[in-house]
Amino acid sequence: MSEKIKKIWNKFRFFRSLRARIFIIVFLVGIIPGIILRYGILENYEDRAVSVRTSDMQNQLNIIANHLITYNYLADTSSEVISAELEQLSNLYDGRVMIINSSLKVIKDTYGTSEGKTVITEAVIKCMKDGIGGSNYDNEYGYIEITTPIIETAVAETAAGNEGPSGMGKKQDVVRGVMLTSVSTDSINVTLDILSRRALLLEVLMLIAIFAIALILSGVLMKPFERVAKAISEVKEGYRDEPISVPDYLETEHIVDAFNQLQNRMRVLDTSRQEFVANVSHELKTPITSVKVLADSLLAQENVPAELYKEFMLDIAEEIEREDKIINDLLSMVKMDKAVAMMNISVVDVNALTEIVLKRLRPISRKRDIEVVFESKRAVTAEADEVKLTLIITNLVENAIKYNKEQGWVKVLLDADHQFFTLEIMDSGIGIPEESLEHIYERFYRVDKSHSREIGGTGLGLAITRNAVLMHRGSIRVSSTVGEGTVFTVKIPLNYIAS
Ligand code: ADP
């Protein structure tokens, strides 16, 4: 089902483009007010024209109604004046006037067809009863029907004793009949037709103009985004390398900024990759070169005594061991780089683990007569990757021993609060100069290259250590005084926080 929808949606891909949307919005915003205005004005015109026509007619009819009373037309329809007035009115307004007397009989019809007939319509009866005229517009057949009461104001005979002091009777309106008039609204409709045709023509012209404007506008508004896409693809294809700039809109500026930052980051990554490859090649080459020099010098001599062979072979074996160490360090670093998903978390007894590591390192500390002390404030168990935690402790304690003085000391302190455990590795060693502190975690960085090489350093140990700490979402800090010693502090959460 969703596949089907996707297929249909793909067919309308066009509508997913911002350009199409801008076009549609501009087009609709342009055209809708025109349409509303047209219907509004035409409708209004019709209402207004009908009401003007109705009130005109009503005025005229009221005058005639008065004349009908004056000429006593209801009793005698022979009045020429009235006939002429009625004729004129019906000609002028293309209408028909019927005069109906109080017994609902038509006494005059300007069409002459209904005279003598009885008219019983709601409007007529109502008008006759209330003495109030009314009108009704029939939109479908195009006419207005008007009822006008024919009212005679008579002085009523009032009951005796009720006469006023002036002796005058009370004036009273008596409905003597009704004029039923229908007027055609053809002329209004003709005007309406003309107006609506003109409006349509204007609308079509407007439609064409708005279509063109929407097309141009959507194109112009989208231009900067096209420029962004072009600039990015130029970078992608390698035609340009410098930062791109499309400052037309804030939006394009943001996109371009983000892209430039990404490009910068890639550049930095690329540089560090190149540096790394160069460093690795150099580090791997050094022992090989030494091996070659040793072997060549043996080969160049004749009758070399066996002791010399042995001595050179020992050197060669040392270099090979060094090469092996570098390769091992590189491998553990690559493994560490791969993914946090590689974490193998278990509950680790940190006290026991530290003891094991220290025991393993005892031969090298003994060799240099360095005292290694372990102090634990409490028993600590934590969720951690045992192999990586071993690497962290080993590297830091090994460094503390390696970069120490003869007969120095190394102290390992373990403590924990409810959230973290802290390992402090202190030594009485040579210390790290201030300016080197920010570099010691870089791959292959060594404060004193020749010294580090002498004691078998690869410059990868702290890079690996820091990675392992970060993978546990922990932190590592260092403080050091040259000639006095160094303190590394590692803080790791007791409960592993998966990302
Ligand atoms: P290496 O394999 O050379 O020991 P590391 O990455 O472990 O490489 O350490 C980087 C450099 O930091 C070392 O070469 C050394 O100069 C310095 N360093 C590390 N630990 C200590 C320490 N405890 N005391 C003094 N210097 C240290």
Residue 253 lies in a domain: no
**Distance in angstroms (rounded) separating the CA atoms of residues 28 and 202:** 16
CATH number of the domain within which 67 lies:
3.30.450.20
**Distance in angstroms (rounded) separating the CA atoms of residues 411 and 488:** 11
**Which of 191, 209, 241 lies at the terminal end of a domain, its last residue?**
191
**Distance in angstroms (rounded) separating the CA atoms of residues 236 and 219:** 25
The burial of 346, by beta-carbon neighbours within 10 Å (0-12 exposed, 13-18 middle, 19 or more buried), is given as exposed
Query: Residue 159 Cα, ligand 1 centroid: separation in angstroms?
Result: 133
Q: Is the CB of 283 under 6 A from ligand 1?
A: no
CA-based torsion, 490, 496, 497, 499: positive or negative: positive
Q: What is the pLDDT of residue 499?
A: 67
| DSSP-derived pairing of the beta strands 485-493 and 475-481 | antiparallel
Query: Residue 438 Cα, ligand 1 centroid: separation in angstroms?
Result: 12
Q: Is the CB of 457 under 6 A from ligand 1?
A: yes
Q: Is the CB of 427 under 6 A from ligand 1?
A: yes
Residue type, 442: E
Q: What is the pLDDT of residue 431?
A: 95
Q: Is the CB of 38 under 6 A from ligand 1?
A: no
Query: Residue 435 Cα, ligand 1 centroid: separation in angstroms?
Result: 14
User: HSE-up of 136 (CA within 13 Å, CB side)?
Assistant: 11
Query: Residue 236 Cα, ligand 1 centroid: separation in angstroms?
Result: 41
Instruction: Note down pLDDT in tens along the chain; length 499 residues.
Output: 578 887 777 777 777 788 899 999 999 998 898 889 888 988 899 899 999 999 999 999 999 999 999 998 888 888 888 888 888 888 888 889 999 998 899 999 988 888 889 988 999 999 999 989 999 999 888 899 999 999 988 776 555 444 444 545 677 888 999 999 999 888 888 998 999 899 889 989 999 999 999 999 999 999 999 999 999 998 888 877 788 888 989 999 999 999 999 999 988 888 888 888 888 888 888 889 989 999 999 899 888 899 989 999 999 998 999 899 889 888 888 877 765 557 889 999 999 999 999 999 998 899 889 999 999 999 999 999 998 999 999 999 999 999 999 999 999 999 999 999 999 999 999 999 999 999 999 888 888 877 776 777 788 899 989 999 999 999 999 999 999 999 999 999 999 987 6
Residue 185 lies in a domain: yes
CA 129 to chain centroid, in Å, comes to 69
CATH number of the domain within which 418 lies:
3.30.565.10
Phi, psi at residue 299, to the nearest 5°? -70, -30
User: For the CA atoms of the chain, what is the radius of gyration?
Assistant: 54
Question: Measured from the CA of 404, which atom of ligand 1 is nearest?
Answer: 24
Q: What is the pLDDT of residue 487?
A: 97
Burial 212-241 (b: 16+ CB within 10 A, else e): eebeebbeebbebbebbeebbeebeeeeee
**H-assigned helices in 131-249:** 186-237
Q: What is the pLDDT of residue 268?
A: 86
Question: Measured from the CA of 449, which atom of ligand 1 is nearest?
Answer: 14
- Show the domain range for 432: 342-493
Q: Is the CB of 252 under 6 A from ligand 1?
A: no
Residue to mutate (ligand 1; options 326, 361, 399; most atoms within 8 A of CB): 399
Nearest to 58 by CA among 175, 130, 138, 147: 147
Question: Measured from the CA of 329, which atom of ligand 1 is nearest?
Answer: 2
Residue 153 lies in a domain: yes
Q: What is the pLDDT of residue 164?
A: 47
Residue 204 lies in a domain: no
Residue 1 lies in a domain: no
Q: What is the pLDDT of residue 237?
A: 86
Q: What is the pLDDT of residue 163?
A: 46
Chain length of the chain: 499
In 3-state terms, what secondary structure has residue 175?
strand
Residue to mutate (ligand 1; options 368, 398, 454, 462; most atoms within 8 A of CB): 462
Q: Is the CB of 408 under 6 A from ligand 1?
A: no
Residue 124 lies in a domain: yes
**Closest CA to ligand 1's atom 2:** 457
Q: Is the CB of 177 under 6 A from ligand 1?
A: no
Q: Is the CB of 486 under 6 A from ligand 1?
A: yes
**Closest CA to ligand 1's atom 25:** 431
Q: Is the CB of 398 under 6 A from ligand 1?
A: no
> Structural domain tally of the chain?
2
Residue 208 lies in a domain: no
Q: What is the pLDDT of residue 361?
A: 93
Residue 72 lies in a domain: yes
Q: What is the pLDDT of residue 310?
A: 93
